[in-house]
Amino acid sequence: MSFWQVTAVPGRSVQGTCGHLAEALDVSVPAVRQCWECVRAGSRWVHLRQCLTCGHVGCCDSSPGRHAHGHARAGHDLARSVEPGERWAWCYADELFLEPTGVLDGAEAVDGSQNAGDGSGLK
Ligand SMILES: [Zn+2]
Ligand SMILES: [Zn+2]
Ligand SMILES: [Zn+2]
């Protein structure tokens, strides 16, 4: 059973497949939301992404460090957003958006409807 499934991006009709979904584990949300590599380097990040394989937290591609992307190159391709209210993940290898399959629903009651149809600010 996988926790995530590929989701269609608004404005993009083609829906690809991701062969990494089995790598995604039910990693717990970090207690402290920080990109430690940025903290060490004294730099700032824009958004945070969490590796779905090991729970590593890094910053997004809009951040100067792009540490989540750097971590993905090590073989952990899936990362989810840990921004409050955001429930989506990203496969760096396939460049696909993922959404929860519903297996995790109930653990945290976040209303996803407010994000429906709003493709801005993703990634
Ligand atoms: Zn993939
Ligand atoms: Zn960083
Ligand atoms: Zn990882």
Check pLDDT > 80 for residue 48.
yes
Q: Where are the domains of the chain?
A: 1-7+24-98
Q: What is the mean pLDDT of residues 51-59?
A: 97
**Residues of the chain with pLDDT > 70: what percent?**
78
Task: Write down the pLDDT at residue 123.
Answer: 58
Q: Is 21 left (phi over 0), alpha (psi -120 to 50) or beta?
A: alpha
CA distance 81 to 120: 14
Which of 3.30.70.2190, 3.75.10.20, 3.40.190.10, 3.30.40.10 is the CATH number of 1-7+24-98?
Answer: 3.30.40.10
pLDDT digits (tens, 9 = 90+) for 2-46: 889 998 777 766 568 999 999 999 898 888 899 999 999 999 999
Distance 74 CA to ligand 3 centre (A): 8
Q: Could you tell me which residue, 2 or 98, shows the higher pLDDT?
A: 98
Distance 22 CA to ligand 1 centre (A): 9
